Homo-oligomer: A and B are copies of this chain.
Amino acid sequence: MSVVHEHLNESAETTDHELDRVLDAAVAAASAWEDQTPTQRARVLVALADALSAHVDSLVAVAGEETGLPEARLRGEVSRTSVQLRMFAEELLAGRFLDVVIDLPDPQFVLGPRPDLRRYQVPVGPVLVFAASNFPFAFSVAGTDTASALAAGCPVILKAHPGHPRTSAMTADIVTAALAAAGAPAGIFAMITGVDAGVRALQDPRVAAAAFTGSVPGGRALFDIASARKCPIPFYGELGSLNPAVITSGAAAERTEDIAAGFVGSFTLGAGQFCTKPGLLLVPHGSALVARIAELAAEVPAARMLTAKIAQGFRSRLDDVRRVDGVDVLVDGAEVPAGEDGVPSFSPTLLRTNATALLEHAEVLLEETFGPTAIVVEYASVAEVHEILSRLDGALTVTVHTPANPDAAERQELRGLIRVAAARTGRVVFNGWPTGVAVTPAQNHGGPYPATTAIAHTSVGTSAMNRFLRPIAYQDAPTELLPEQLQDANPMGVPRRTHEAGQSQSWGQAAF
């Protein structure tokens, strides 16, 4: 429906000429989109949400064919995608994202006369979004990166994931039509296809920031390109994560059945293809948990992988892990050969090792395996748990299962454990499982590298908008030249923090 999209079909890669046109259109549209009031932008986001909801049946049908994911999961994902758009619309109406700070002139300022300074957040400019393989809606064409960048006031160039081309094209058509119908400036959204086009876009000076969800090698290669530009740009990559879970001995004894069922459900969910899949489970040596987990995992039927390429990566990586000395196979998952769609299915493979072997072969075993497998580590002491956690790369999540009523010694032990865990992650989950990331303001879907390439940011929840904003200050501006958000009269009614004159005299004295 868009001018650009008419000339693309899902098998063709975006040409240089097409990309040039897309980027020019994004630059041309940036000011108009920035100039829309937050309320206007919110209306556009809600229109997108409504359009996706209206097309849920056809979207789910196509995505089901392409990804093999079950209908209920796909319906839930379309719903999540719409809700994300609505959530950002609410943020726009609340206005907190503008982070307006006003320092009134202060002739008695402690370092000499202070000018009138007013700061707020403005969009960074056109954002390049690389869609993910494993969420054909929520992290794809109209997913959280697109929604947060559009909300921030940035045009979006969306590099489609080749794993679900028809779903992407259909979503892009819906987005394009809904944007036009809602009166959004032409050029604020376009989809491009092909690795080469994605790389060229990332290198192009017209692109101001990029977001990515995917593998460590792919994400790192793109991060390196973004960082090596003549003018480097922020690259928000959400890459790989082992998501370890620690079962304390108290918890293992109290809730064997719950924990076993919860873990098997979480690591096999979506054929183990979630960035928050718990890939490493630390259980006390001799616990009945291990046998029960193996029983339950053996019952999980084979599930189709998202793409033939991901299946191939899983097979090869699993071979490497199984071959490590000291790793036992508790459940030997089967591969069901590909059918017509060319993509095989796998039932879960469960592996077991101990702390010594794990640390000896850390470079193989402490890496994520994308697919239905996990390693259970039987630990002999809490000291071993500390050592394993402190050897981990950064992770999106660390999960801890605690006893219901810890005694003083157990609480002390837990505090030590949580301290080590917190240093390696962006989210600590208690007595639950990391899959099923809540879309909500306090969420943090982030963490130290390689969980992400930008430790201070989240890609889920309302704070995801911050990735695409930058501050600008106006000094001594005449009122009529100030943005409305910064004018004394506050015609847009945005929340602001104002510092009057005379507050600096006592700085540092308050508590002393």
What is A's interface to B at a CB cutoff of 8 Å?
31, 39, 42-43, 45-46, 49, 76, 79-80, 83, 85-87, 89-90, 93, 101-103, 109-112, 114-115, 117-119, 122, 124-125, 223-224, 227-228, 231-232, 234, 393-394, 402, 406, 411, 414-415, 418-419, 422-423, 425-432, 436, 438-444, 446, 448-450, 453-456, 458, 463, 466, 469-478, 480-481, 497, 499, 504, 507-512
Contact = CB atoms under 8 A, between A and B. Distances in A.
A280 B455 CA distance: 37
A85 B115 contact: no
A440 B109 contact: yes
Contacts of A481: 402, 411, 414-415, 418, 430
Q: Is the interface of A mostly helix, strand, loop or mixed?
A: mixed
A473 B499 contact: no
Contact of A227 (B46, B224, B438): B224
Nearest to A86: B508
Contacts of A509: 46, 86
Contacts of A454: 234
Contacts of A456: 124, 234, 466, 469-471
Contacts of A109: 438, 440
Nearest to A35: B419
Contacts of A234: 454-456
A118 to B, nearest CB: 6
Which 7 interchain pairs have the tightest Cβ spacing? A86-B508, A227-B227, A444-B473, A117-B442, A86-B507, A103-B442, A101-B442
Contacts of A478: 402, 430
Contacts of A470: 426, 446, 455-456
Contacts of A432: 115, 475-476
B440 A39 contact: no
